[in-house]
Amino acid sequence: MKLQEEFQQSQQEAKALLTKKSKEALDLSDKNVTLLAEVQRLKETLAKKDEELVKERKALTNDVANSYLAGFESTVIQVSGIYPGMDFSQLGPGKTVVDGQLVEEYVESSAFKL
């Protein structure tokens, strides 16, 4: 009798442990689903932020280029006031003087690349 009681008690303990472990596995599975959803949400947020960053970078680059152009135009206007008879029509952003000649300047800087 005692052996059968011990066997039944062992079976009950095994069933209780199995139930407990099954519940833990289900809880972990639910947590995994929740975490995967959060990762997906964060990926989508990051993708949107990347798009915003690209747009903002283009806008800032345009602002810098416009400021440079406005400064250049202001300088040409000021110099033409001092030297009213000079022709400044060939001058412009992107030009430079090399060996006494006005030539196109090719900017290799990454600051001007999109």
Residue 2: the pLDDT is: 86
Q: Which two tokens stand for residue 27?
A: 């809880």
Strand partners, 104: 95
Tell me the pLDDT of the chain averaged across its residues.
Answer: 89
**What gap in Å lies between CA 73 and CA 86, rounded to an integer?**
15
- pLDDT of 66 above 50: yes
Confidence band, pLDDT 50/70/90 cuts, at residue 114: very low
- pLDDT of 111 above 70: no
**What gap in Å lies between CA 12 and CA 7, rounded to an integer?**
9
Query: What mean pLDDT comes out for the span 30-48?
Result: 97
Residue 96: the pLDDT is: 83
Q: Which residues of 74-112 are buried (b: 16+ CB within 10 A; e: fewer)?
A: eeeeeeeeeeeeeeeeeeeeeeeeeeeeeeeeeeeeeee
Confidence band, pLDDT 50/70/90 cuts, at residue 1: confident
The least confident of 13-22, 48-57, 72-81 is 72-81
pTM for this entry:
0.52
